Structure 1
Amino acid sequence: MSDKLTVSEHLCSIMRQLRDPENGCPWDSKQTFSSIAPHTIEEAYEVADAIHNGDMHDVKDEVADLLFQVIFYAQLGQEQGHFDFDSIAEHLCEKLIRRHPHVFAEKVELTAEQLDAQWQAIKFQERLSKTPALDTSILANIPSGMAPLKRAQKIQQQCAKVGFDWTELEGVVDKIYEEVDEVLAEVKAVQVDVQAVEEEVGDLLFAAVNLARHTHVDADSALQKATIKFEKRFRLLERHFVDLGRNLADCSVREMEEVWQQVKKQLKT
């Protein structure tokens, strides 16, 4: 890196070179905001996965990949005359100071509830200043592109703030049983309506997210851990039959279930 360039300047210069239509990378040069967005989501998940695995070298590597996404957007914005990396960083500085008056202005101690109320009030004022046709719903600031489990939990959290929520855990659990019955009713119908089945399964998933929220569990994290656990068990089950020289597709459900229970005991010990 040149002594005359800061790290951010060097990074931006590399990005400009990658985007150069003549001397850059063919893949990078043809990307757009829309084509990059799925990669950004994927990189965010890879950061979360690295954190879950606890390998700080991997965390550093994945965070760097996520930063590359930001630099990419900055270059696209600069090319189209909307913004550049410096204006993004400056905008973030202003926002952080504005949203933390208890740190940068009043210097007061607030409870977690007061902090959340202050945060929401400031964000509401920010939205109000952007457009006169403001969506004043308490759900207005929840991105439609958020991961489904997280969005469901966020919507439930917002509704709970105004009292639209179960007051007892029993009601939450009863709702899950109710949704299971409705799924089974659609599945067992004389003429199965696929869309109706999908709708009822969706309601069941939404109810399960609600149970996670009421038990102070992050639904997305819980499902991720459950999936990892299932994958680990299934790989051991596969290995068991491979070692016996057997094709898994030729094994009976009963045989696989017996090994599955053995694997569960093995991992517990």
Structure 2
Amino acid sequence: MTNLSTRADQLAAFDRLLTIMDELRAQCPWDMKQTTESLRHLTIEETFELSDAILEGNPEEIKKELGDLLLHLVFYAKIGSEEGNFDMASLTNALCEKLIRRHPHIYGDTEAKDEEAVKQNWEKIKLQEKGNKSVLGGVPKSLPALIKAMRIQEKARGVGFDWEEKSQVWEKVEEEMQEFKEEFNADDEKEIDREKAAAEFGDLLFSLINYARFIDINPEEALERTNLKFIKRFQYLENAAREQGKSLGDMTLNEMDVYWNEAKGK
């Protein structure tokens, strides 16, 4: 394990990064050209790369990707200072004030006995700060649908709108499954109303995400782990077929199942 540095060392390292950012912005043709708009898609990419490293459980990659993301934060602060909008000090102090404001159980006289109480206080204070007419107003519109569903449900829970027991949530899952089956019966070959079936399928997914939340499973992470598992097994299938001089396109499903079952045992 890497020896942890002192607070003085951490501050010195951050000061060094700010100095390098100043130099790059003044001298490097690429860095000089960047804007908040041009950095935006790169920041999103860096965030997903950090997510990959976290899922892989690789500390060195996590450190590397966190460094890349930190560079972007410093970059945005530098551009903000050039435009006279904000700088690293003002945005950091604003963050500190927000953290103090949203933790009245630490910095004030509010009590919060558990994590759930902290979350509820956070959402109530956030709603007051932003002046949103809806508690859901703070959910970013561009979030992927699965993550957005999670955040919608979490925010609704933050103001007390939620099921009381997980058994109630599972009953809702079964209800939605039945409604979907009625719209899209696998044994029925007649043409279906796809728009209505899609709506029912969306309801089913939403209820499953809700149940996952109740049993403390992050559905986004669960699905991504399944994606990675499928990729690993499928690539094993491809490699095994290649070693036999075969192409997947020329194999029957039964032949592919042999290698697939081998992959499951790996």
Q: Taking structure 2 as the reference length, what is the TM-score of the superposition?
A: 0.81
Matches within 5 A, 1:1-269: 6-20=12-26, 23-26=27-30, 28-106=31-109, 110-128=113-131, 135-160=132-157, 161-163=159-161, 165=163, 167-182=168-183, 190=191, 201-264=201-264, 266-267=265-266
Cα offset, 1:244, TM superposition: 0.5
Distance 1:168 1:197, change over 3 A: closer
CA–CA distance in 1 between the matches of 2:200 and 2:35?
37
Kindly provide the amino acid, as one letter, of the partner of residue 148 in structure 1. Answer: A
> Would you say the 8 A contact 2:22–2:78 is kept in 1?
yes
* TM-fit CA distance, 1:238: 1.1
| Aligned mates of 1:75, 1:226 — CA distance in 2 | 40
Q: 1:210 to 1:181 in 2, by over 3 A?
A: farther
Query: 1:60 deviation in Å?
Result: 1.1
Measure, in 2, the Cα distance between the counterparts of 1:110 and 1:191: 51
In structure 2, C-alpha distance between the alignment counterparts of 1:104 and 1:202, rounded to whole Å: 42
Structure 2 runs not aligned, ≥5 long: 1-10
CA displacement 1:15-43 (0-9 Å, x = unmatched): 233333xx3132x3333223322222222
Deviations 1:132-157 (A, max 9, x none): xxx32121121222332121111123
Amino acid at match of 1:25: P
The CA distance in 2 between the partners of 1:188 and 1:91, in whole Å, is 60
Pick closer, same or farther for the CA change 1:188–1:92 going to 2, 3 Å.
farther
Give 3-state SS (helix, strand or coil) of 2:138's partner: coil
- Following superposition, the deviation at residue 189 of structure 1 comes to 6.4
- Does the residue aligned with 2:222 lie in a helix, a strand or coil? helix
Distance in structure 1 (CA, Å) of the matches to 2:94 and 2:145: 28
Matches of 2:123 and 2:173 in 1, distance apart? 26
Contact 2:169 2:207 in 1 (8 A): no
Would the aligned equivalents of 1:241 and 1:248 in 2 still touch at CA under 8 Å? yes
- Structure 1 gap ranges (5+): 129-134
The percentage of aligned residue pairs carrying the same residue is 35
How far off is 1:254 after superposition? 2.5
Cα shift at 1:184: 6.0
- Report if the CA contact (8 A) 2:179-2:200 is conserved: no
TM (normalized to structure 1)?
0.80
CA contact (8 A) 1:176 1:207 kept: no
Residue 137 of structure 2 aligns to a residue whose secondary structure is coil
- Give the Cα separation in 2 of the matches to 1:65 and 1:41: 11
Q: Deviations over 1:51-96 (max 9, x none)?
A: 2222222111111111111111111211221111111111111111
Asked whether the equivalents of residues 233 and 260 of structure 1 are also in contact (C-alpha less than 8 Å), the reply is yes
Letter aligned with residue 133 of structure 2: T
Deviates more, 1:163-172 or 1:73-82: 163-172
Change (3 A) 1:252 1:119: same
**Is the 8 Å Cα contact of residues 50 and 62 (structure 2) preserved in structure 1?**
yes
Q: Is the 8 A contact 1:138 1:158 kept in 2?
A: yes
1:189 and 1:11 map into 2 onto residues whose CA distance is: 64
